[in-house]
Amino acid sequence: MKQNNSMEQLLSLALQDAVERTQPALQNEVEWAAAGMESHTFATAFEKRMKHLCAQEKRRVWFERHQKGLRNAVAGMAVLLCVGGVTIASVDAIRTPLLQYFLKIGDSSSQYIPSSVINLPVSDQMAVYYPTYIPEGYVVVDVIERDTRYHVVYLNEEDQSFTLFFDCENSAISFNTENSVVEEIEIKGVPAVVSMQDNQTIVIWQGEGFSYTIAGNLGKEECIRILESTRVGD
Amino acid sequence: MIAYALIDDEQTRTLFEQLYYQYRQHMYWIAQQILCDEYLAEDITAEAFIRIAKKIDFIASLSEKQQRDYIVVVLRNLAIDAYRKKRKSPEVLTETPETSPIDDTLDEKIFGKIRYDNLVTAISKLQDPYLDVLKLRCLYQQSAEETANILGISVNSVNQRLFRAKAKLKQILKEEQYFDEAE
């Protein structure tokens, strides 16, 4: 077996030398032209096929050359995603708004209301707390309703908007009063707080078993009129 | 500017592209000589390039002369196979029947008695079908299946042809008196 192997090796070496010593069996373009041979014009289909093959080979070589870089890039992306995920999960300042954002998407999509009934934005259960007066030109663009509360977003053609919040339970409400004019008033004999800053108005009206907040590009009078049109406190 | 672009283009060419642009004319010519059919010759040249693309890593490991040689072996056998199919005569260019008993004992006794240069000379005197199978199996280290695929014959025929090629080589060595069997 060992002798056979050495014979094969010798034969391989002799074959190699035979190839190297003889004239090349294939001439390149320069040798071909130098020999005065006529160049053949290949058919378009052939050229197309070869172009495709060349492109395929180029892609393969490119991937082979950049394999390491691509692998590193993918690994880097994976690490970034992991670090990002951990950061989001551990930092409240990022996690909370993000969760709220996604929860809001869920709520919005589950409470989609067809345009024909958009003027009745809340359920029958909440309709009793809904104001009968809404300033002209405003349409409902978003509604969120939960067990004891709802909020409705209104928008008019001039891009002015306001949001009406309602809750059956009274709870503390924080709002920004910096550079604002704050005023205490009464609506239907129940105390309310009005905060005005530029063209932004916030009205908080809380009574026995109800809490209304209006915030947006509305005047104080309009806000009061909306709240007065509710059935609570009657 | 155009010349610079051309140089740059040539430098960025893959090995496959280099082989394609360098040898397509002569490859076509070889196929045309065997097939005498312009369209079929183009088809066979394209087929040869497809096979080259599949084996490009192996071809990259060969010297330039070996690359040319390997390409010719692949192309010639594809053309012969196509010619055989075209003529629908399996007898054409198939195994040559041996008229005398085959002696394939290309053993260490013989190799021990001949000069290496004479062996190289004897190899170059082998006919193409024998030389091709010897090159593919012994020089390019292709498996019997790969060789069968390139030559367009069965694995059994590959083994048979290899057996005969070695016998033929011994015959040449004897005829040219490169070694004395009596010694």
Cβ of A20 and B65 within 8 Å? yes
Task: Compute the distance between CA of residue B80 and CA of residue B133 in angstroms, rounded to an integer.
Answer: 14
Residues of B in contact with A46 (CB under 8 A): 42, 45-46
The low-confidence residues of chain A, meaning pLDDT below 50, are 111-118
Cβ of B120 and A14 within 8 Å? yes
**Per-residue pLDDT at A114:** 45
Contact criterion met (CB below 8 Å) for A196 and A220: yes
Q: Is the ipTM of this complex over 0.90?
A: no
> Residue A14 is nearest to which of B29, B66, B119, comparing CB atoms?
B119
Place of tokens 């051309």: B6
**Per-residue pLDDT at A168:** 85
Four-residue CA torsion sign, A88, A93, A96, A102: negative
**Per-residue pLDDT at A162:** 92
Cβ of A19 and B135 within 8 Å? yes
Cα→Cα distances B117→A15, A133, A138, B124, Å: 11, 111, 102, 11
pLDDT in tens, chain B (183 residues): 444 444 445 557 889 999 999 999 999 999 999 999 999 999 999 999 999 999 999 999 999 999 999 999 999 999 999 998 887 654 444 444 444 444 555 555 565 667 788 888 888 889 988 999 999 999 999 999 999 999 989 999 999 999 999 889 888 888 877 665 544
For A153-181, the pLDDT digits (tens) are 998 888 889 999 998 887 777 777 778 88
Residues of B in contact with A23 (CB under 8 A): none
Cβ of B53 and A56 within 8 Å? yes
